[in-house]
Structure formats: structure tokens, C-alpha cells
Amino acid sequence: MSSVVQDAKRLVVKVGSGLVTNRGQGLDLDALSRWAGQVAELRHLGREVVLVSSGAIAAGMQRLGWKKRPRALHELQAAAAVGQMGLIQLYESCFREHGLMTSQILLTHEDLADRKRYLNARSTLRTLLELGVIPIINENDTVAVDEIRFGDNDTLAALVTNLIEAEVLVILTDQAGLYDKDPRKDRTATLIAEARADDPALEAVAGGVGSHIALGGMLTKVLAAKRAARSGAHTVIASGHEDRVLLRLASGERLGTQLTAEKATLAARKQWLADHLQVRGQLVLDGGAVKALRVDRKSLLPIGVHEVSGEFERGEVVSCLDEARREIARGLVNYSAAETRRILRTPSSEIEAKLGYVDEPELIHRDNLVLL
């Protein structure tokens, strides 16, 4: 079986810090030039490519003379602000040698959590691709705070994959792919050549953390593949140290781990709901409500909710949990947290008696709810 990249017209490629820096010590011009060359060849073959690149903080650390990654948020933001200039400058120079224009896109979670900003980002990226421009995306570390950060560029790449409805997400790392054990600790580890992106067993085997420069280990990549699969996108996790890895994948060669999307593509609005990294509250449902959502595809009524946590307002995104506290759905709630606490376990016909008014009979309408 050939690589899923072979027939993909639109793909998102994520390269980690270790693939664009000299072992974390500043940017590697030769490496950036190689990535630009491969992406340029894909573009000339008619492929649309979005590049999600780490490296800004590592570049900033080198420019500032810092040997160790700082922990303080304001220092990380300062490093990102300094390093982002150099990162984009070098990418622009490298792509210009191939006659291609680049664009810089810095995103925060707020950009994708707000529906209007989400749609604007989607339109901008699609327009850039139509114009033949290579979008280079990174998290806006300079302004993002802990509460609204993506946390790693694997997650960001998956969200961008869903945003533009790319067919494939390619995550390039310093490992050959996903193994059944940590190959750095166990020589008997075997490469997993192919699996379903939604296979829960993958999360159990995806251990380890990144280097002192990179954030996130193989687990973030597995979770990114699971997220990308919501829009029907396949994911390939492969080594960025392989010679001409992107072009070999595009030619059909199997490299690394291929995680395939099995489920039907979510509608764009429900995909946006599912992609919310942070929700404002949680609703714990009884068994009847869980069945109504999962099996009968019905709306969520107040009578099926027996616990509320968090503080939220009408129209914000909340999680729906089963009695074992597993998240089964997300949706836009019709009542605030305070109102929901007053009407939980209440039939819809009694909402007005409890609140003095009734906005909607449903707590979450099925059109504003997505199953996970």
C-alpha cells in the first residue's frame, strides 16, 4: 500500500525545533533551505502546502545568549519575539530562491475559538494557497498566555489541517515514527507502520517527552492525528532526517507511521466545536441523556443533567461527560452556569417556573452539539 501523501492535493507539514535548529543552538540555514526546496518541489507538482514550523523560541534563545530554555512565561515570550524575526527572514530568503512567496501566520487559541476569527483565518489561508503563496504558521507565543495556548505545534498543525480541510497532516520529528515502546530506552521497540488514528491503544504506547528544546513527545503527535482525523485527514509521523522525506512520501513511498482516518468528515461548524481546546464548563449526564445524544441523536435537555461545574455564559462551549467522567460531546449551551444549576434535573416544561422565563427548551440543541 502506498503512502496517503501520494494522492493528497493539500497537506499540512509540521517540522519540529530539532529539524530547523543546530541541536537547539540557533537556526540551521542548511536545514531551512532543504525544507524550502522540498516544499517548492511539491508546489511545482501542483500540491498546496502549509508549513507549521517550530524554532522561534530556540532561535531567540541563541540570539539572546541563553543556554537553557526559560520557564517564566514572559521570558519565553521575549525569546519568541526575538526569534520569530530570524525564523521568517530565513524562510523568506530560502523560498525566494525557488521563486515562491511566503506569508507569516501567527495564531493563538482565541483566533480559532471565536467563530468569526476562525472563519477569517480559514478564508485568509485558502486565499494564500490560491495565490500560490506558502503560509508559514507558528503559535503566537509573544502574546499567548497559559490559559489560551495550544501548548505544542503538533496540536496547532492538526487544527490548521481541519481549518483548511487538508487531506494529510505530515508530522516530522527526530524519530522514525511511532513505536510500540520507547526506542531510546528499549532496543526491542518495533515501528508501528500503520494504525487507525482513533485507536485508543496508541495513546497508551505513545510515551516520552521532547528534548530540552522541544515541547511534547509522541503523545502529542498521536492526539494531533486523532484530532486531524475529525476532518477526514490522514496523518504520517516520520523522521525529518530521512533524505528528501516529503518528496519520497509524495511519490508513494511508505515511511514512518501512517495513521488513517476512519470516521466520516465532520461538518465545518461541528468541527469547529470539536476543535475547542478549552471549554468553559462541564455537564455530567445520566445514562438516559447519554443514550439520547449518542444513539438517538437528540438534543440535551436539562432533565438529563445532574451535575454542573465551571462558570459559563449562554452561547459558550461546554463539555458533556458521562457518569464515568468521560467526555462524549461538546456544544453551545443555551443557559448560563448559574441558570443551568437551577434547572438541572428539571423537565423542560418547568424551566419557566424555575427561572421566571424560558429561552429554549433544550440545554444544548442537537444542531449545536458534536459527539466526540
- pLDDT tens column, 201-243: 888 777 644 444 444 478 889 999 998 998 889 999 999 999 9
Q: What is the pLDDT of residue 214?
A: 42
Q: What is the mean pLDDT of the chain?
A: 89
Q: Contact 166/4 with Cβ under 8 angstroms?
A: no
Quote the longest CA-to-CA distance of the chain: 70
pLDDT at residue 144, as a whole number: 61
Residue indicated by cell numbers 459558550: 316
Residue 146 pLDDT more than 80? no
Instruction: Assign 149 a pLDDT band (cuts: 50, 70, 90).
Output: low
State the burial class of residue 195 (Cβ atoms within 10 Å of its Cβ: 0-12, 13-18, 19+): middle
Lowest mean pLDDT among 24-33, 137-146, 228-237, 338-347: 137-146
Q: Where are the domains of the chain?
A: 10-270, 279-371
Domain 10-270 top-level CATH class:
alpha beta
Q: In Å, what is the CA distance from 36 to each residue of 27, 90, 100, 102, 246?
A: 14, 10, 9, 10, 11
pLDDT at 147: 46
pLDDT of residue 228: 92
Task: Report pLDDT for 263.
Answer: 72
- Find the mean pLDDT for residues 284-288: 96
pLDDT of residue 208: 42
> What string of H, E and C letters represents the secondary structure of 127-169?
HHHHCCCEEEEEECCCCCCHHHCCCCHHHHHHHHHHHHCCCEE
Handedness of CA 363, 200, 161, 268 (dihedral sign): negative
User: Integer distance in angstroms from the first to the last C-alpha of the chain?
Assistant: 29
The pLDDT of residue 212 is 40
CATH superfamily, domain at 279-371: PUA domain (2.30.130.10)
Which residues does residue 25 pair with via DSSP β-bridges, in sequence order?
none
Which grid coordinates are listed for 246? 516529503
